[in-house]
Amino acid sequence: MCYSRNPDSVRKEQLVDCVVSSWSDWSECDSDCGAGSMVRTRRVAQAAEHGGRRCPALLQRRACHDHRGCRERSDLPRRAQLAWSSWSPCVSVCGAGSMVRTRRVAQAAEHGGRRCPALLQRRACHDHRGCRERSDLPRREEMAQILPGALSVSRHSNETVDIRKNLRLRNPDDPESNSHREYCIQFEVIKSSKACHLDSDYKALREGGKVSVLCETAALKRGLEWRCEGHGVAGHATRFSALVAPHCHGKWTRLQHVPRDGEPCRTPDFIFV
């Protein structure tokens, strides 16, 4: 049986290759007395999208050698180094990346003195300023919170046992948030934690298995253009987590968007919350 597809999923997305900036200048040699290294970085100007070519290396290091800081004779038993440089810009302008800072040796260890500590530090950073308006990166970073599909039935038959009654995702009085917007997403599970395998409500979440997840009125979000959070991006792995079984989590890939009256939506494995 064929199902109609969401127009957004039918439209063929154009491949967008990663684009990076030019290299920065080389840093100073991190040692002014003997062998050391210098680094240079570049940033992501446009992140790869829709299966486009991934970004190349964003940091390069090369050896250097300097004797300008060497003293003819040293009586210092310990090493000394300069203060850290400022942090470099985040290497990504759309999504997760990293930044680095360096310091250099002001006095090399001599006569058994303590060796120098690390001369380069790296830390994570995150930026969305460079994302294009229609970039799918924010959606790839969402995590789906799910409950067993059986709760969808109990919700309509007896609201007093609806586990989601007090969740903040309700839009009961909003005329735009109604059942005609409901839909299903089919996923293929690529990774799941052991806790999922041991819980009868989530045993369908096994590697290689296909599951359907219903997006009901209660979970639709106006800020996400009336869709459920974590409904995935075709061709990319996204994350899921069981709301009432916090140790059950994993990753899946989106297969297709199915309208509310499609067969998978009639008996969904899970529901978004």
Instruction: Please write the tens of the pLDDT for every residue from 81-129.
Output: 678 888 888 887 777 788 999 888 877 777 777 888 888 899 988 777 7
Q: Is 12 inside any structural domain?
A: no
Q: Does residue 236 sit in the same domain as residue 157?
A: yes
pLDDT at 124: 87
Residue 41 predicted with pLDDT over 70 = yes
Among 83, 102, 127, give the residue marking a domain's end.
Answer: 127
**Gap between the Cα atoms of 129 and 149, Å rounded:** 38
pLDDT-based confidence at residue 134 (cuts at 50, 70, 90) = low
Q: Does residue 68 sit in the same domain as residue 158?
A: no
Q: Does residue 167 sit in the same domain as residue 121?
A: no
Q: Does residue 46 sit in the same domain as residue 157?
A: no
Q: Does residue 183 sit in the same domain as residue 56?
A: no
Residue 11 predicted with pLDDT over 50 = no
Name the phi and psi angles at 151, rounded to 5. Answer: -70, -20
Here the CATH number for the domain that contains residue 26 is 2.20.100.10
Total domain count for the chain?
2
Q: Is 2 inside any structural domain?
A: no
Q: Does residue 123 sit in the same domain as residue 158?
A: no
Q: Does residue 143 sit in the same domain as residue 261?
A: yes
Position of tokens 């380069």? 120
> Percent of the chain at pLDDT above 90?
26
Residue 8 predicted with pLDDT over 90 = no
**Lowest-confidence range among 34-43, 70-79, 101-110, 117-126?**
70-79
Q: Does residue 144 sit in the same domain as residue 186?
A: yes
Q: Is 71 inside any structural domain?
A: yes
Q: Is 14 inside any structural domain?
A: no
Assess contact for 273 and 20: CB atoms under 8 A.
no
Q: Does residue 189 sit in the same domain as residue 159?
A: yes
Residue 131 predicted with pLDDT over 90 = no
Residue 238 predicted with pLDDT over 90 = yes
* Pairing status of strand 183-192 against strand 245-259: antiparallel
Q: Is 4 inside any structural domain?
A: no
Q: Is 8 inside any structural domain?
A: no
Q: Does residue 46 sit in the same domain as residue 117?
A: yes
Q: Does residue 111 sit in the same domain as residue 229?
A: no
At 149, list the tokens. Answer: 């599909």
Cβ atoms within 10 Å, residue 63: 9
Domain of 34 in residue numbering reads as 19-127
- Residue 273: helix, strand or coil by DSSP? coil
Q: Does residue 122 sit in the same domain as residue 163?
A: no
DSSP state of 58: S
pLDDT in tens, 197-229: 999 999 999 999 999 999 998 889 888 888 999
Among 84, 102, 127, give the residue marking a domain's end.
Answer: 127
Assess contact for 241 and 272: CB atoms under 8 A.
no
Among 107, 127, 147, give the residue marking a domain's end.
Answer: 127
pLDDT-based confidence at residue 74 (cuts at 50, 70, 90) = very low
Q: Is 95 inside any structural domain?
A: yes
pLDDT in tens, 158-177: 444 455 455 444 555 554 55
Tell me the mean pLDDT in the region 176-180: 63
Q: Is 246 inside any structural domain?
A: yes
